[in-house]
Structure 1
Amino acid sequence: MFQQILTHYALDPEKYSVQPFGSGLINHTWKVSMASGQDCYILQQINSAVFKHPFDIALNMASLGSYLQQHYPDYLFAGPLPTAAGDYLYVDDQHRFYRLFPFVAQSHSIDQVLTAEQAFEAARQFARFTHLLSGFDTRLLKITIPQFHDLSLRYLQFTTALTNGNPQRIQDAAELIDYLQQQQHLVQTYEHIKKDPGFRLRVIHHDTKISNVLFDDQHNGLCVIDLDTVMPGYFISDVGDMMRTYLSPVTEEEKNVQLITIRDDFFAAIARGYIEELRTELTETEKQHFVYAGQFMIYMQALRFLTDHLNNDVYYGARYEGHNFVRAQNQAVLLQQYNAKSTLFNQIISTI
């Protein structure tokens, strides 16, 4: 398999080794290296079950790369390389989609945010990406995952599961269901945002986990990577995803909810990194909804996990009985902890 792929990229398969790389859960990723270690690439197979139209991703990357090369040639854009035929995707005879990226030397990624400085650098890089593309026409971007961060849709799917889902699971989850229903006002705020001229559709990454930032050896952010989910969107998607995944020292998999806490200095770091980079772009209305961004994303993920649990784990699957219920409860506790600090967080935003 790899021999044929490398040949299409004009690489001699005899000179390269291919090893699994990274911790991504969606696409399969490998590092392609020469024995000397001086010539390296990243090979990736696109998960076409998640991304139904891989050529749309390729078109997005080509459009973004062309814009950045023209306007900001010094920006490190981690886009794919062309094949020998000039294509940005290679499709094998089993209709599997591959692309090859340059390996950025003297760079690294991390899987867990351990310091406020890392949170600051990540927020700055995601904001910088959006800032540099502020002049890009978002209508040129293809939608790679329709309604990906549509909170209204996720709430509708939740209410549908309450009607059609597993009756025993619905009964057992009554307390959590009640709590999430009480937070429906967050959906109403989202509906208002979609109609508010104070919110701009921007080029948004939509997957701001820390592993999608490259750092240099001095721990400074270099650029953002994994651009498959780049689509038109609202800033609350990127900021909210950082809040959801950076603020607590434990992940959504943690069963012991006593370990779920909010690190105030991490919130301040995210806010400062993002707002300082996008200060000339964010409207006053958007800045006033900065804290809402965290509520938006945490709540949406709680809904999605519980919906899947009530639907017998058909979307995320489950490694053990009640896995998605644990995840949903984890996110609900995170939302409670976050809401309890909303006044403090708004005070922090007012000082930036």
Structure 2
Amino acid sequence: MKITEDMQTLGVESLVTIAEQFTFSDRVTGVQAFGSGNINDTFLVTLDSATEKHFVLQRINTQVFRQPELVMRNMRTLTEHVRDRLQRTPANRRWEVPRVLLTKNTQDIWQDSCGYYWRAISFIENSQSFDTLQDSSLAAEIGYALGMFHNLISDLPPEKLADTLEGFHITPLYLQQYNEVLAKTQPQPSPEINYGWKFVSDRLNFVSILEDAKATGKLPLRLMHGDPKINNVMFDTATHKAVSVIDLDTVKPGLVHYDIGDCLRSGCNPAGEETEHWTGVYFDTDLCQGILQGYLSVAQAFLTENDYLYIYDAIRLITFELGLRFFTDYLAGNIYFKVKHPEHNLARALVQFKLTESIESQETKIRQIIQDLRIINK
């Protein structure tokens, strides 16, 4: 994980001191950068403890999450609900939900002397995540994990959680932001930039398809994870079975279709979203079938007729949306996503645009997969 410049000013002692705010009797023996997230600064804390040996420490990015207290309230409401569900109806296999750890004065968030907000979350021991699905046998587990997550929160009313990211996954708003940035910037034309401009302008007619379906009552408002990339699914290191869905910052009222689409977008791109060889990116329909099969095995209980009708549109739209967001951030000067070099967001955008093209070219096949699985899971 890339540590941002201002994080580099914090020494090991400072990070240890911060981690100690969330411990009681256990001694902190190490803090190291952890994960590959694009938003928060994340660290794995090691403890001298006979019970829990690790926890996750994060500095919340308040440029993105402007109300960190609401983010934590959402997380506590969600995780407590899921733990209650699991106690009343235990899963027939290992399944865990991260716990919010409290400070020594029983707060779920801690503010340092610089004004930064920190929080601690339990670590899912004996687990691992993957950035790409190199093994197709894991595909159904990815789908199962998202279906399990949706199922466990399907009876939690959306109004119980605050909307901490207004406009998040509202594609027409991202298009509006893109147009505003485009009007203010004059980037030097290049084949890649020209490709991006044309790609977006050729697809303006479908950006509101899911929001229109929500507005007309065809798709219901539910709770969604918001960022169910495959590396947010944790796998048991021994059994290789999915055991948890993490990174719960973005859980909010929305459409589960954004989750379904995002899970398939990230899971069905064998090259991964950080590949430098964007021209070879493609959408793997075998992985698509595996993920959807796993998802529907759990989620069929609450999906409606219309839910199935919009799954393909969700896969296409969310892939386009992420490409649009990367492209917009590149044009704006890389102000939202963490980057390793000035052209990083442009490269990310091209990967998503190429993936969208691959999805579009296989529309008939993808729709058939959805239809076939729907029949099987009836």
281, 286, 289: which is aligned to 1:260?
A: 281
The CA deviation at 1:314 is 4.0
Q: Give 5+ residue unaligned stretches, structure 2.
A: 1-13, 374-378
Give the alignment of 1:6-85 within 5 angstroms. Answer: 6-12=19-25, 14=27, 16-35=29-48, 38-42=51-55, 43-73=57-87, 74=90, 76-85=96-105
Contact 1:17 1:35 in 2 (8 A): no
147, 151, 173: which is aligned to 1:127?
A: 147
Aligned mates of 1:106, 1:154 — CA distance in 2: 38
* CA deviation vs aligned residue, 1:188-245 (integer Å, no higher than 9, x gap): 3133222132312112111111221111121101111110111111112111112221
Alpha carbons of structure 1 residues 322 and 137: separation in structure 2 relative to 1, 3 Å: same
SS class of match (2:265): helix
Q: Which residue of 1 aligns with 2:7?
A: none
Q: Which residue of 1 aligns with 2:8?
A: none
When the two structures are superposed, what TM-score results if normalisation uses the length of structure 2?
Answer: 0.85
178, 184, 202: which is aligned to 1:164?
A: 184
The CA deviation at 1:291 is 1.0
The one-letter amino acid of 2:280's match is L
The one-letter amino acid of 1:71's match is R
Q: Which residue of 1 aligns with 2:135?
A: 115
Q: Which residue of 2 aligns with 1:286?
A: 307
SS class of match (2:163): coil
Give the alignment of 1:148-297 within 5 angstroms. Answer: 148-166=168-186, 168-169=188-189, 173-216=193-236, 217-297=238-318
Aligned mates of 1:167, 1:99 — CA distance in 2: 39
Alpha carbons of structure 1 residues 64 and 341: separation in structure 2 relative to 1, 3 Å: same
The CA deviation at 1:322 is 4.1
Contact 1:6 1:12 in 2 (8 A): no
91, 109, 112: which is aligned to 1:92?
A: 112
User: What number of residue pairs does the alignment pair up?
Assistant: 352
Q: Which residue of 2 aligns with 1:333?
A: 354
The CA deviation at 1:38 is 5.0
Contact 1:169 1:309 in 2 (8 A): no
64-73 vs 273-282, which deviates more? Answer: 64-73
Aligned mates of 1:178, 1:19 — CA distance in 2: 42
53-62 vs 299-308, which deviates more? Answer: 299-308
153-162 vs 228-237, which deviates more? Answer: 153-162
The CA deviation at 1:90 is 2.0
Alpha carbons of structure 1 residues 350 and 299: separation in structure 2 relative to 1, 3 Å: same
43-52 vs 331-340, which deviates more? Answer: 43-52
The one-letter amino acid of 1:285's match is N
Aligned mates of 2:302, 2:231 — CA distance in 1: 26
The CA deviation at 1:250 is 1.3
Contact 1:134 1:202 in 2 (8 A): yes
SS class of match (2:207): helix
Aligned mates of 1:273, 1:282 — CA distance in 2: 14
The one-letter amino acid of 1:28's match is D
* CA deviation vs aligned residue, 1:8-32 (integer Å, no higher than 9, x gap): 3343475633233223332222222
The CA deviation at 1:104 is 2.5
Alignment RMSD (CA, Å): 2.4
SS class of match (2:44): strand
Alpha carbons of structure 1 residues 127 and 179: separation in structure 2 relative to 1, 3 Å: same
When the two structures are superposed, what TM-score results if normalisation uses the length of structure 1?
Answer: 0.91
Contact 1:198 1:283 in 2 (8 A): no
The CA deviation at 1:321 is 5.3
Contact 2:170 2:211 in 1 (8 A): no
Alpha carbons of structure 1 residues 314 and 108: separation in structure 2 relative to 1, 3 Å: closer
Aligned mates of 1:77, 1:244 — CA distance in 2: 24
32-41 vs 152-161, which deviates more? Answer: 32-41
8-17 vs 212-221, which deviates more? Answer: 8-17
The CA deviation at 1:153 is 0.5
258-267 vs 32-41, which deviates more? Answer: 32-41
Aligned mates of 1:224, 1:40 — CA distance in 2: 20
* CA deviation vs aligned residue, 1:67-91 (integer Å, no higher than 9, x gap): 2233322452212122232211122
Aligned mates of 1:3, 1:305 — CA distance in 2: 34
The CA deviation at 1:172 is 7.6
Q: Give 5+ residue unaligned stretches, structure 1.
A: none
